[in-house]
């Protein structure tokens, strides 16, 4: 990569870290950027997952107050995310790279659709949740089973291709767990971090030679800054502007994938 391309990757990391802390789907900034600069799709996914761990840490830390009192759900969800991420990583590393290259444009389009639909999802979740500040920490057996199943499924998706896993989690939690939106966002940040940590460790152990370390380290540095900024200032930014940036960059990445 040229110096300008490396600078662009760093800037994409900042944007992804901030977006992940507030909305989710920051991968739709970094993954297309790497692909556009010639990084192979599987290597881009692996490098991106490693780089975004730092942003997940800072974003989760920024929302730590909203995590208070959520252990009754998280003690079930964290293992589900962990196991799902392992399955997703296994699929990425064992399925032929041609399968990933064929599937990832479909996943990218689906993720972009979720980004565009996010306001409707948020309104729907808000309608189901009801009055902010009302927290329910006791779930019935069927709700726990549904929550674990959904969290595991999103973990598999996140281990394979991380884009928009946060939005998927928010949608699932809104259906199953009645709680305040900001508290659900905090849980989403933590669970997505679990998936990214599992993916990063797995890739570092078994796919070291496929990691683009310059890109991963730049994304890590950028996302660390972006995660803190997103947690602190992100709620003041226009969600419409954030979604517009994600969609534009995602479409560029999709075009790059389909024309190489």
Which domain range does residue 140 map to?
A: 3-258
Question: Is the pLDDT score of 235 beyond 90?
Answer: no
Question: Is the pLDDT score of 253 beyond 70?
Answer: no
Question: Is the pLDDT score of 105 beyond 70?
Answer: yes
Secondary structure of residue 51 in the 3-state scheme: helix
pLDDT, residue 226, reads 93
The structural domain count of the chain equals: 1
At 189, list the tokens: 């940040």
pTM as predicted:
0.80
Q: How far is CA 89 from CA 13, 48, 201, in A?
A: 22, 13, 10
What percentage of the chain has pLDDT greater than the value 90? 35
Question: Is the pLDDT score of 112 beyond 90?
Answer: no
Distance CA 97, CA 176 (A): 35
Question: What's the DSSP call for residue 140?
Answer: -
- Which band of pLDDT confidence, cut at 50, 70 and 90, is reported for residue 93? confident
């Amino acid at each position: 990569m040229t110096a300008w391309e490396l600078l662009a990757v760093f800037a994409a990391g900042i944007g992804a870290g901030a977006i992940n802390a507030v909305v989710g789907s920051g991968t739709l900034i970094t993954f297309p950027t790497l692909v556009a600069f010639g990084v192979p799709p599987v290597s881009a996914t692996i490098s991106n997952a490693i780089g975004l761990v730092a942003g997940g840490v800072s974003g989760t830390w920024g929302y730590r107050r909203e995590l208070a009192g959520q252990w009754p759900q998280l003690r079930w969800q964290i293992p589900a995310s962990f196991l799902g991420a392992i399955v997703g990583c296994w699929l990425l590393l064992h399925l032929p790279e041609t399968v990933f290259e064929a599937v990832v444009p479909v996943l990218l389009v689906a993720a972009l659709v979720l980004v565009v639909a996010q306001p409707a999802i948020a309104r729907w979740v808000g309608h189901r949740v009801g009055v902010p500040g009302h927290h329910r920490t006791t779930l019935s057996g069927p709700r726990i089973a549904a929550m674990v199943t959904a969290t595991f499924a999103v973990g598999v998706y996140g281990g394979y291709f991380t884009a928009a896993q946060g939005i998927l989690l928010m949608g699932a939690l809104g259906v199953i767990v009645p709680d305040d939106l900001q508290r659900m966002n905090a849980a989403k940040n933590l669970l997505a971090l679990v998936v990214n940590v599992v993916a990063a460790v797995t890739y570092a152990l078994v796919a070291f030679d496929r990691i683009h370390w310059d890109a991963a380290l730049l994304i890590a540095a950028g996302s660390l800054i972006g995660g803190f900024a997103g947690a602190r200032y992100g709620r003041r930014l226009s969600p419409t502007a954030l979604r517009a940036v994600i969609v534009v960059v995602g479409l560029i990445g999709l075009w790059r994938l389909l024309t190489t």
